[in-house]
Amino acid sequence: MTVVSGAFLIFLGTTLGFFYLCPRQHRWLVLLAASVLFYVLAGKWQFLPCITLTSLAVWVGARRISRLDAELKEALKDKGLDKAAKKSLRTQYKSLKSRTLVLVLVLCVGALCVTKFSRVVVALADQIAAISAMGVHMDPTLLVMPLGISYYTFSTIGYLLDVYWKRYPCEESFPRFFLYTIYFPHILQGPISRYNRLGASLKEGMSFSEENITHGAERIIWGFFKKLVIADRLNLMVSTVYDGKPHAGSIFLVTMLLDALMIYTDFSGYMEIVCGASQLFGVELEENFNHPFFSRTVAEFWRRWHMTLGGWFKDYVYYPISVSSWMKKLNRKNAKRLSKRASRVISVAIPCLCTWFLTGLWHGTGPNYVCWGIYYGVLITISNAFQEEFKAFDERWGINTESRSWRLLQMVRTFCIFMGGRVLTSPGNLANTAMVFDNIFHNLQPWQWFDGSLWTYGLKRPDGNVLILGLLLVLVVSFLQERTHVREEIDRRGVVLRWILMYAGIIAVIVFGVYGAGYDAAKFIYMQY
Amino acid sequence: MDKIIEILSGIKSGVDFANEEQIVTGGVLDSIDITEFITALEEEFDIEIGMEYMENENFDSVSAIWDMVEELQEA
């Protein structure tokens, strides 16, 4: 079962019915049962032990860390202890806490790495077997990853580290913690929720609110529109062109553009659906998108795109590296022997490149994903290192950096950089990426844009019209959302307008949604991560 | 507190840090600026800012930063 299916809507309606019929204090149990059922229906029941064990390991680890903190606090109250004894106690407890943390991290990250890298290892073993003519064939695609493992591992690790850093107390009830891990709207593709926000929201006991129901339903319809009408239609051409075969450069250029728009409408469409579904139960999920294509710089883009993943890497990878004792030591050493600027650039580059390298690996284990990560790491480091030169350039040429035209130019530049990043991963491997660029530079054939060839790659002319109108609508809504709260604005204009818009949305999804032969709604792009 | 404002202004000029209440959550400083600020803050006040202090609310205003510095100096 995928979230873009009739089965999901039936599941959602049934869960909603049970949820609001249940007394308020037990509603979380309905969500827990529904989430377990959804997890089994969306994947396989065999995945259930994996997520349960990860949750259990983290829950037990966090409780032990909390208990050690409480014990230390109690022990330090002893007035007979001198400064040295207190220091020794702190060191002793810190070591116990660290050991617990490392053990649980090794278990969880180990499980994630095994599932992520096993395909690479099997593919390598298969190649070795083929070269040495052993007569053994191993198919790496037969290996399956537990559903949502990248997402739930990150959510639970975030919780464990927060408890370790004493940011909030641990959860005493395992079923409650398990609900946070497996909560069905966020389990497959995120958002990667923080325990102090989602856990509290799930605990509060959700009461019925008409606003939550209508706003939730509106978001679900809008998400269906983005996914079924736009993203899946764009996918018709993108999947046809990125088939590993050479095409005219002009066709690749159009596909690069469509691919960037596709991943946005696909992923943000999914987020609209799951955030809307969660809102029906009165539980607010964290936002993952904030109109990223309005970003003026790459760094800003990544603060607006997949925000919960970016936030996770910032808090649990970038900052820990930046403020680690070895990094500070290195910075101090560099400050003495290098210029101020060089020392600053190194202090930014190391955590930035490490973070982006890991972000690349999170998305995929192939060399193309590693290149993708390094691509962004290097770009952000360069933009930071040459800030002064960029500023001097603007002043030298008298550029008004706040003018509308300059801002637009910066947005277009950021979008092109994003398209460049997509070409590293979308065609499947680096050889295909090289082929795409080779055709763009040596086999452009721009007349294919006008002679009708464009419409022979999965999209027909009417599809083009639907796409233009659909994308214009997304653009207009995004503009409005930058300036105002669109749903509240619709509410203010009365029930009639709201119902007209909702029915129009449903009809648009039914009439213009892509449901043709070979259509597979199960394939949300970010599910593969 | 003046010293904190001076360090912040050195990292990003043209911001009224004395009255800014959303230094991090409002995106005035990004993560790269924050790490630079922490290094300067640690040197200036001879403190060590651990991960338990790396929360937005500790860096969102000058008064919040000052509270954190005082707490760390007392520890």
User: In A, which residues are within 8 Å of B50 by CB distance?
Assistant: 165, 323
* Whole-angstrom distance, CA of residue B22 vs CA of residue B29: 9
Q: Is ipTM strictly over 0.85?
A: no
Could you report the per-residue pLDDT of A182-207, keeping only the tens digit for each?
999 999 888 999 998 888 888 876 77
- Name the pLDDT band for A334 (thresholds 50, 70, 90): confident
Shortest CA gap B34–chain A (Å): 9
Chain B interface test: which of A315, A322, A353, A355 (most B C-beta within 10 Å): A322
SS3 of A199-243: HHHHHCCCCCCHHHHHHHHHHHHHHHHHHHHHHHHHHHHHHHHCC
pLDDT at A348: 86
Give the chain A residue nearest B43 (alpha carbons). Answer: A332
pLDDT at A399: 85
* Whole-angstrom distance, CA of residue A398 vs CA of residue A279: 48
How far is residue B50 CA from its own chain's centroid?
A: 13
Average pLDDT over every residue of A55-71: 94
Q: Which residue has the higher pLDDT, A161 or A114?
A: A161
pLDDT at A522: 46
pLDDT at A47: 85
- Name the pLDDT band for A36 (thresholds 50, 70, 90): very high
* Whole-angstrom distance, CA of residue A296 vs CA of residue A389: 17
Per the CB < 8 A criterion, the answer to whether A327 and A335 are in contact is no
Q: What percent of chain A has pLDDT over 70?
A: 95
Average pLDDT over every residue of A401-408: 90
Average pLDDT over every residue of A434-458: 90
Give the orientation angle of helix A430-442 with respect to helix A367-385, to 10 degrees: 60
Inspect the interface and report whether the beta carbons of B39 and A347 lie closer than 8 Å. Answer: yes
Average pLDDT, chain A: 88
Provide the CB-side half-sphere exposure for A296 (13 A, CA): 9
pLDDT at A122: 78
* Whole-angstrom distance, CA of residue A22 vs CA of residue A208: 11
Residues of A contacting chain B (CB within 8 angstroms)? 161, 165-167, 299, 303, 314-315, 318-320, 322-323, 328, 331, 344, 347-348, 351-352, 384
Inspect the interface and report whether the beta carbons of A323 and B38 lie closer than 8 Å. Answer: yes
Inspect the interface and report whether the beta carbons of B31 and A318 lie closer than 8 Å. Answer: yes
Which among B27, B30, B51 has the least Cβ separation from residue A323? B51
Question: Backbone phi, then psi, for A248, in 5-degree steps?
Answer: -65, 145
Could you report the per-residue pLDDT of A110-129, keeping only the tens digit for each?
988 888 888 777 777 777 77
Shortest CA gap B52–chain A (Å): 5
pLDDT at residue A92 is higher than 50: yes
Shortest CA gap A294–chain B (Å): 15
One-letter amino acid for residue B52 of the chain: E
Does B32 contact A at CB distance below 8 Å?
A: yes
Per the CB < 8 A criterion, the answer to whether B63 and B23 are in contact is no
Shortest CA gap B32–chain A (Å): 6
Could you report the per-residue pLDDT of B57-72, keeping only the tens digit for each?
889 999 999 999 988 8
Q: Three-state SS for B24?
A: coil
Q: Which secondary structure element, helix H or strand E, spans residue A58, and what is its range?
A: helix A48-76
Neighbouring residues of B34: CB distance < 8 A, sequence distance ≥ 6: A319, B24, B59
Counting beta carbons within 10 angstroms of the beta carbon of residue A330, is it exposed (0 to 12), middle (13 to 18) or buried (19 or more)? middle
Print burial letters for A48-65: b (CB count within 10 Å at least 16), e (below 16).
bebbbebbebbbebbbbb
Give the CA angle between residues A475, A481, A487 to the nearest 5°.
Answer: 115
Neighbouring residues of B73: CB distance < 8 A, sequence distance ≥ 6: B45, B46, B47
Average pLDDT over every residue of A255-265: 95
Could you report the per-residue pLDDT of A5-28, keeping only the tens digit for each?
888 999 999 999 999 999 888 899
Which among A167, A303, A323 has the least Cβ separation from residue B55? A167
Q: Hey, which residues 40-59 in chain B have their CB within 8 Å of chain A?
A: 42, 49-52, 54-55
Q: Three-state SS for A163?
A: helix
* Whole-angstrom distance, CA of residue A440 vs CA of residue A499: 47
User: In B, which residues are within 8 Å of A348 by CB distance?
Assistant: 32, 35-36
* Whole-angstrom distance, CA of residue B75 vs CA of residue B47: 9
* Whole-angstrom distance, CA of residue A224 vs CA of residue B65: 44
Q: Which secondary structure element, helix H or strand E, spans residue A268, and what is its range?
A: helix A249-280
Provide the CB-side half-sphere exposure for A113 (13 A, CA): 7
- Locus of tokens 């979008």: A415
pLDDT at A140: 65
User: Which domains are seen in chain B, by residue range?
Assistant: 2-74 (1.10.1200.10)
Average pLDDT over every residue of A277-283: 93
pLDDT at residue A161 is higher than 90: yes
pLDDT at A524: 63
Could you report the per-residue pLDDT of A285-331, keeping only the tens digit for each?
999 999 999 999 999 999 999 999 999 999 999 999 988 888 888 88
Inspect the interface and report whether the beta carbons of A348 and B32 lie closer than 8 Å. Answer: yes
Per the CB < 8 A criterion, the answer to whether A253 and A436 are in contact is no
One-letter amino acid for residue A360 of the chain: G
Q: What is the DSSP string of A386-423?
A: THHHHHHHHHHTT--TTSHHHHHHHHHHHHHHHHHHHH
Inspect the interface and report whether the beta carbons of B54 and A315 lie closer than 8 Å. Answer: yes
User: In B, which residues are within 8 Å of A384 by CB distance?
Assistant: 32
Neighbouring residues of B13: CB distance < 8 A, sequence distance ≥ 6: none
Could you report the per-residue pLDDT of A73-89, keeping only the tens digit for each?
888 887 787 778 888 88
pLDDT at residue A241 is higher than 70: yes
Could you report the per-residue pLDDT of B14-51, keeping only the tens digit for each?
888 888 889 988 888 888 888 888 888 888 888 888 88
Give the chain B residue nearest A352 (alpha carbons). Answer: B32
